[in-house]
Structure 1
Amino acid sequence: MKHPHTLPLSAALLAAMAAMPAHAELTVTPYGSLRIQAEAVSVDEAQPGEDDSYTGLRDAYSRLGVNASYNDFDNVDITATLEFPINSARLRAEDPTFFQELYKEDNNSMPRVATISAAHDQYGSVTVGTQWLAYYNNVAYPVDFFSSFYSGYATQSAFRRDALTYTSPSLAGITATVSGVDMTDEAGTRYLDTMQYALSWSLDKLTLAAAFQDTEQDSGDRADQVGASATYTTGPWRFAAKVEQLLSHSSVSEDPDPVTYNLYGSYSWNKYTFKAMYAQGEESDGEGEAFFQGDSVHVGVDYQHTEALKLFAEYFYEELGYAIYTPNSDSFNPLAGYQVQSDGQVFTVGLRYDF
């Protein structure tokens, strides 16, 4: 349920930027990215009414947006971003995962990002609006480096929500983040019903990070989350790993606190980048009950044809139905059914053009 007293963030951001003095040093930069793929998909057994395999087109997170920066204050930089999802395969302004409508009902075309941020060298930054979340940025993002639609599914974290976030300045490579998040948008809960805390440490080629999510403090109906990641880069090689665990409250008995593990590696050579990732979703005692997609494998290669144009080819496998959707999906609808044993496979080729 939406909060009737809350001004939509996109409208609030536009109003705030328009209210700035005419003489201000305001820079506005539009941008966009077309990302689309052709794919051949198969599962062991599709849900009733669907074929076990198909070929088709799928959007891979196209977007249109605008960045604005304002530097008329001493030692403080004001920036704003407004970005909308574009489902290029369906020619609609919508999130191709349809996760947004699970957050705010009937609002799948809401902005992917709608933020205003104030940053100070000595005191850090404050960001308000629809944003990439602190838990995701520190734990899940280090292994979310593929180019296709299937990138990023092997995580417990939510990607984007309305939030108010403070990030400290870096001190000896250490950065702390505290964020109040509107996780559910449900009636009877506070607007910022969830807290996220993250800490990262960067030293030369190595970055370590950890995060904790105190979920839905008003109700305690859903599990908290804890996770950690490590990233190491040397020359053309990049390696990353993460681990996450759900921490169920005593009132939550159906979930034995599953753990997910991810290992990622990539190698860059000339215009090519070769990538591989293995993710393990720990299963519970009940048959077919595992974290989201169970185990998954993802391999691929990118070819950076020009600065703006990237071509990619990937193979993706998931044990349980989660990321592999029905053709021409208009909602979150896994081809085999959600968390049903699927042994789903995808071969995909696509392009990304940034402008």
Structure 2
Amino acid sequence: MDCKHTLKLPAAILAGLATLPAHAALEVTPYGSLRIQTEAVSVDEAQPGEDDSYTGLRDAYSRLGVTAAYNDLDWVDINATLEFPINSALMRAEDPTFFQQSYKGNNKPRVADITATTENLGSLRVGTQWLAYYNTVAYPVDFFSSFYSGYATQASFRRDAVTYTTPSMAGLTASVAAVDQTDEAGTSYLDTMQYALGWAVGDLTLGLAYQDTEQDSADNADQAGVSAAYVLGGWRFAAKVEQLITNNDAVQDEDPVTYNLYGSYSWNKYTVKAMFANGEETDEPAAFFQGDSYQVGLDYQYSENLKLFADYFYEELGYAIYTPTSRSFNPLAGYQVDSDGQAISLGLRYDF
């Protein structure tokens, strides 16, 4: 690894917090969320050595973290978050998707950022964070409670980044972010740029984002996406469309499109939700999600802290349905192989 990467943004965050005055009114709040499911999974044909179906436990994005807030300054509020993934099914501190394995390590913090916010100038966020492109385009349809939430996108969720967001003006906000997308030797540390625009008016929210992906390590695809979400009483509807913009001349099926349609209805303590997604099949390496996917879920908010959920998930091509007790990214049918995979999940989420 290039030695210039040895001073990481999380280390800079801790150094920044250490410079606060000793008498500062620093409010520190620990938090956590246990999210686990039991599941019954099947595919048409599993990889050699694996069963075509199984039942087992899988973590659904448990985490432990701490937030810190320093709001004594007249002109700026300072907030920081440090959060670690917990694979509760295997009792390990790791990301259950194992996507982080190819970035900086699967047991690194999910989030480690510090944000300075002013009323007139907006906010500056530095560190490992949820990215502007994902927040604007993919998050509006990422509302399921099970492990299988969030796969139907080409967006990266979290990376080291520096993000500036404008204050809201008539519901309009803009963000620009420099992102460490690849963490590869021979590339700049913050090698990718993201630009996002959001507009919220009443119950309608619209989003537009673009990712200018680094080209030093390969002819990587850029990304563009739009989203819309609308709330009407207990109903919530959302949609997104993404397109990868191919830069590799060897790719035959260029510029693949992904789209999602989501709807939910909430009443009393219940929420029922459904989504259809499709990713065009392509040889574009950046198109992780391909084929059709369906998902239906039911949440029951038993108490303020405890949610129970049931979920049905289907994928045409292997991607989100893993081998049992996976220790790496390892789809049961194989990656982007014909799968007709199905997963039925029953789980709980307890926040503390």
**Shorter-normalised TM range:** over 0.9
- Name the aligned partner's letter for residue 31 of structure 1: Y
1:100 lines up with 2:97 in the alignment: no
Map Cα deviations across residues 153-188 of structure 1 (whole Å, 9 max, x no partner).
Answer: 000100000000000001111100000000000010
- Name the aligned partner's letter for residue 130 of structure 1: T
- Cα deviation for residue 17 of structure 1 reads 1.6
Pick aligned residue for 2:349 from 347, 352, 355: 352
RMSD of aligned Cα (Å): 1.6
Partner Cα separation in structure 2 for residue 72 and residue 297 of structure 1:
48
1:70 maps to 70
Map 1:1-355 onto structure 2 (within 5 A). 1=1, 3=3, 5-104=5-104, 107-219=105-217, 221-284=219-282, 292-355=289-352
TM norm structure 1: 0.96
- Other structure's SS at 1:316 match: strand
Contact 1:2 1:185 in 2 (8 A): no
Map Cα deviations across residues 260-286 of structure 1 (whole Å, 9 max, x no partner).
Answer: 110000000100000000001112489
- Other structure's SS at 1:335 match: coil
Map Cα deviations across residues 211-265 of structure 1 (whole Å, 9 max, x no partner).
Answer: 0000014355110000000000011000000000000115352442110110000
- Name the aligned partner's letter for residue 347 of structure 1: I
Contact 1:258 1:291 in 2 (8 A): no
Relative distance call for 1:213 and 1:220 in structure 2 (3 A) is farther
Partner Cα separation in structure 2 for residue 24 and residue 91 of structure 1:
37
Map Cα deviations across residues 41-83 of structure 1 (whole Å, 9 max, x no partner).
Answer: 0000001110000000000000000000111222200000000
Partner Cα separation in structure 2 for residue 300 and residue 124 of structure 1:
36
- Other structure's SS at 2:14 match: helix
Contact 1:221 1:252 in 2 (8 A): no
- Other structure's SS at 2:72 match: strand
Listed as ranges, the gaps of 5+ residues in structure 2 are none
- Other structure's SS at 1:186 match: coil
TM norm structure 2: 0.96
- Name the aligned partner's letter for residue 89 of structure 1: A
132-141 or 19-28, larger mean C-alpha shift: 19-28
Partner Cα separation in structure 2 for residue 46 and residue 348 of structure 1:
19
Listed as ranges, the gaps of 5+ residues in structure 1 are none
15-24 or 61-70, larger mean C-alpha shift: 15-24
- Name the aligned partner's letter for residue 322 of structure 1: Y
Partner Cα separation in structure 1 for residue 155 and residue 246 of structure 2:
15
- Cα deviation for residue 297 of structure 1 reads 0.1
* Equivalenced residues, count: 351
Partner Cα separation in structure 2 for residue 235 and residue 218 of structure 1:
48
261-270 or 243-252, larger mean C-alpha shift: 243-252
- Other structure's SS at 2:230 match: strand
- Other structure's SS at 1:73 match: coil
Contact 1:78 1:119 in 2 (8 A): yes
Contact 1:220 1:249 in 2 (8 A): no
Partner Cα separation in structure 2 for residue 58 and residue 2 of structure 1:
36
Relative distance call for 1:250 and 1:148 in structure 2 (3 A) is closer
Partner Cα separation in structure 2 for residue 190 and residue 296 of structure 1:
36
Partner Cα separation in structure 2 for residue 261 and residue 9 of structure 1:
33
- Name the aligned partner's letter for residue 139 of structure 1: V
